[in-house]
Chains A and B, each alone.
Chain A
Amino acid sequence: MTEAKWPLFEVFIRSRTGLAHRHVGSVHAVDAEMALQNARDVYTRRGEGLSIWVVPASSITASDPADKEMLFEPTASKIYRHPTFYEVPDEVGHM
């Protein structure tokens, strides 16, 4: 099995109760159609999902882990961005 003939696909599944597809893992497959079937066979054996997306892993542009400090740490000091300073009246109930 070579990476060229069996490229990697990332698998996203929407669960019975979920609204959004969630990344669950990856499969190798000869093409997108077979990747869907492989994803079904590998990741939905216990009734996990109602919908599957597969995306060629090569189509994903990922952030560089080395940029972690630059990209993500500056937000740590900006707690005012969290909506936790509002009084929520009891009548609103669960938000």
Chain B
Amino acid sequence: MTVPLFDYVLRLADNALVLGHRLSEWCGHGPVLEEDLALANMALDLIGQSRSLYDYAGEVGGRGHDEDALAYLRDVASYRNVLLVEQPNGDFACTMARQFFYSAFMHPYWQAMAASSDPALAAIAEKSVKEVAYHVRHTSEWAIRLGDGTEESHRRMQAAVDELWPYTGELFEADAIEAALIEAGIATDPRPLEGAWRATVANVLKTATLTLPATGWMQTGGRVGRHSEHLGHLLADLQYMQRAYPGAAW
């Protein structure tokens, strides 16, 4: 038997953990010291969000899973994150585009969730919205500077936007798991947020002298466990210690 609230919170938690882990891969490899820290700061914001969400998921799941069990002991097909967040870091422009697309979506999403009838989710949303507001600011400023920068930075930023664009459609999907929760005022309905997201993205890309891709065919499947090949490699890295030494504590 599945508990819809468990599945729903897990999706949010997996998004935050997987993207946070991706950003943590930059640690020590950032283009400059200042940006290395900025990337690590965003990673820590996201990993912090995932911890609160896993904690709550474990609580509502009713099977006694704690945050570690949920993060470290589930395999690829059990992960429920959108495909966008598991995409590889690529170059710096790619990482910024991925972060910008996600953050520009999560900012209004958390804003809406702050009014959730579920007090635990409302509290997580209230904390997260401030963190994500900065992620939007930081990544959009970079998108503008790279897009409206040199010939090479413009080319790379446009390539990153084009490459990741087909992964943005999944952000706005809502299925049967969410329907009842949206109805009950617990979950945020992502569908009405698409207009605001497109406006934010279009505005930044225009300032960045970049071209907004045409809305075409979109990738889907991450939220029901159908992932790209990249997630397995990411989890191998993330889960190695607990798999090799079960129950190892710090």
A residues near B (Cβ < 8 Å) are 1, 6, 27-31, 33-34, 37-38, 40-42, 45
Residues from chain A with Cβ under 8 Å of B141 in the complex: 33-34, 37
Cβ distance B154 to chain A, nearest Cβ, rounded Å: 15
Starting from the known contacts A37-B38, A42-B33, 9 additional A-B residue pairs (CB-CB under 8 Å) come to A6-B32, A27-B34, A28-B33, A29-B34, A31-B145, A37-B137, A38-B34, A40-B134, A45-B41
Cβ distance A25 to chain B, nearest Cβ, rounded Å: 11
CB-CB nearest in chain B for A40: B134
Q: Which of A31, A42, A45 contacts B34 (CB 8 A)?
A: A42
Cβ distance A35 to chain B, nearest Cβ, rounded Å: 9
Within 8 A of A (CB), among B9-48: 31-35, 37-38, 41
CB-CB nearest in chain A for B39: A41
Contact B34 A41 (CB under 8 A): yes
Residues from chain B with Cβ under 8 Å of A45 in the complex: 37, 41
> A34 CA to B38 CA in the complex, in Å?
11
Residues from chain A with Cβ under 8 Å of B156 in the complex: none
Interface size class of B (residues with CB under 8 A): 10 to 19
CB-CB nearest in chain B for A37: B138
Contact B32 A34 (CB under 8 A): no
CB-CB nearest in chain A for B42: A41
A-B contacts, 29 listed (Cβ < 8 Å):
A1-B31, A1-B32, A6-B32, A27-B34, A28-B32, A28-B33, A28-B34, A29-B34, A30-B145, A31-B145, A33-B141, A34-B141, A34-B145, A37-B38, A37-B137, A37-B138, A37-B141, A38-B34, A38-B38, A40-B134, A41-B34, A41-B37, A41-B38, A41-B41, A42-B33, A42-B34, A42-B37, A45-B37, A45-B41
CB-CB nearest in chain A for B34: A38
> A18 CA to B62 CA in the complex, in Å?
48
> A6 CA to B141 CA in the complex, in Å?
15
**Top 6 A-B pairs, shortest CB-CB distance:** A38-B34, A41-B38, A41-B37, A27-B34, A41-B41, A42-B37
> A74 CA to B134 CA in the complex, in Å?
50
Cβ distance A36 to chain B, nearest Cβ, rounded Å: 10
> A29 CA to B138 CA in the complex, in Å?
13
Cβ distance B131 to chain A, nearest Cβ, rounded Å: 12
> A5 CA to B139 CA in the complex, in Å?
19
Residues from chain B with Cβ under 8 Å of A42 in the complex: 33-34, 37
Residues from chain B with Cβ under 8 Å of A37 in the complex: 38, 137-138, 141
Residues from chain B with Cβ under 8 Å of A30 in the complex: 145
Residues from chain B with Cβ under 8 Å of A28 in the complex: 32-34
> A27 CA to B34 CA in the complex, in Å?
7
Cβ distance A85 to chain B, nearest Cβ, rounded Å: 49
> A22 CA to B31 CA in the complex, in Å?
28
Cβ distance B221 to chain A, nearest Cβ, rounded Å: 34
> A40 CA to B138 CA in the complex, in Å?
11
